[in-house]
Amino acid sequence: MTPRLLYVLHSGNLYGTERMALATLEGLGAEIDPLLCAPPGPVLAESRRRGVPGIAFTSPRDLARVLRRELSAHRAVSFAATAVTHSLLFVALNALYRRRGVHIHMVHGGTDERDSYGRKKVLNLTGVRFVAVSDYVRERLVANGVRADRITVIENFLGSDDVASRPRRPSFAMPGVRRVLIVSRVDPIKRVDLLLDALDRHAGPSSLEFRILGTGWDLDALRDRARATHSNVTFAGFSDDVPGELARSDLLLHLCPVEPFGLAILEAMAAGIPVLVPDSGGAGSLVEDGISGLRFRADDADDLARRLATFQTADAETLNRLVAGGDRQLATRFSAAARIADYRRLFNGVET
C-alpha cells in the first residue's frame, strides 16, 4: 500500500518554502500518497495545477479535523510540517492513533531568530526529525538548543524541467556587466541599504544599472534616498516575472548576510547570469568563490563596491566561466534527483 504523506504549511503563499514543498511532493511521485495542507492562498492553486492533492485549513481546530480524518483512514501516516504548533498537534493526535510513519519538521529559517529557530527546541523530545535547508540553518538551530543528532541538512533544489523551461540570458560576448538585479524583500535585515552605502562612497558602480524587485518596510525610504542621489537605482516593487527579469539582467546581487538559503541564487544560475553574494549566511554557502560566482565581505560597502568593479571589468570568458560553474552546481549539488533521493532515504529510514 502506498504510504500517506501529509505536508502541512504554515503559509498559503507561494514563496521558497511553499515551492519546495510542492517540488518535494512531486519528486517523490508514485512512491507516496500525498496531501498538501495549507491556509487558503496561491500555493493551493498551484498544487491543483500540478496535480498535487491539497486541502485548505483556516485554524488549528480546522487542521485537527483534517489530521483526525487522515489518521483514522490510514494505517501508516508520515508527516512534514513547517510550524511548531502543527508538529505538536500531530504528535498529540498520533499519541492516540499510534500510526507508524516518519515525522519531519522542515526548517527554512527566517528573519526572526526566536520564531525561526528558538522555538524549535520544544520538539527535541518528541521523536521529530529536523530538516535544515542549509548548514547555516543547522548552525542556528543548534545554537538555539535543538539537538544536533536530530538534524539532517537537505538543501533546496531546482528540477531539471524547471531549469530547462526558464528563459536564459545568451552567453556573454562583450566584457563587463551593466544590468544588476536584486530580488529581495526590502526589509532592514536584507541590507538593501548596503548598495546605496557603496554607491555613496564609490563612483565606479554608478555606471551600472541596479533594479530591485520586492517590497517591504524600507521600500519607501530607500526609494526616496535613491531618487535623490542615485538615478541608476530603480526600486520596481513586486514583479510576477522574476524569471524574465533574471534573463534580461547581467548579474544577480544578493545582500542579506543572514539569509537561510536564497532560492533566487539558484534561479539566477538557471537564467545563465553570474551571482555576487555575501560571505556569510546560507547564501554565502551556495557559491564557490571564483567558480560559481563571487562573494564579498558581508555588511562591507567598500568590499561590495570592489567586487562590483571586478564584474564591471571582467572579460566575457570569465563571466561565462562563472555561469558554467553555476550550471554544474545546478546539475549536481542542487539537482532534484540528488535531493529527492535524500528525502526518500529519510522517509524510508526513520520511524517515530
List, for residues 35-72, the tens digit of each pLDDT value. Answer: 999 999 999 999 999 999 999 999 999 999 999 999 99
- For residue 99, give every residue at least 6 positions away whose Cβ sits within 8 Å of its Cβ, in sequence order, or none: 71, 74, 75, 76, 77
Give the pLDDT confidence score for residue 110 in this predicted structure: 80
Q: Say if residue 342 is in the same domain as residue 299.
A: no
Rounded Cα gap, residues 274 and 291, in angstroms:
10
Full residue range of the structural domain in which residue 295 is found: 161-331
What does 172-225 look like in DSSP terms, one character per residue? P-SSS--EEEEES--SGGGTTHHHHHHHHH-SGGGGSEEEEE---TTHHHHHHH
Residues 178 and 101 occupy one common structural domain: no
Q: What is the dihedral of CA 214, 220, 221, 222, to 10 degrees?
A: 40
Count up the domains in the chain and report the number.
Answer: 2
Question: Are residue 323 and residue 211 in the same domain, yes or no?
Answer: yes
- Residue 166 shares a structural domain with residue 304: yes
- Residue for grid cell 495542507: 37
183/128 same-domain check: no
Question: In the chain, which ranges are continuous DSSP H helix?
Answer: 16-28, 42-50, 60-73, 84-97, 113-116, 135-143, 160-165, 193-201, 219-229, 242-247, 263-270, 281-286, 301-313, 316-331, 336-349
Q: What is the pLDDT of residue 321?
A: 98
Q: Are residues 176 and 310 in the same domain?
A: yes
- For residue 343, give the amino acid letter: Y
**Quick one: 167 and 305 in the same domain?**
yes
The predicted model scores a pTM of 0.92
Residues 12 and 86 occupy one common structural domain: yes
- Whether residue 304 sits in one domain with residue 168: yes
CATH of the domain at 256: 3.40.50.2000
Condensed to tens digits (0 to 9), the pLDDT of residues 127-136 reads: 899 999 999 9
Same domain membership, residue 217 and residue 281? yes
Average pLDDT, the chain: 94
d(CA 256, CA 262): 9
**Whole-number Å distance between alpha carbons of 258 and 113:** 10
Same domain, 210 and 90: no
Co-location of 183 and 289 in the same domain: yes
Q: Kindly state the average pLDDT of the residues 290-318.
A: 97
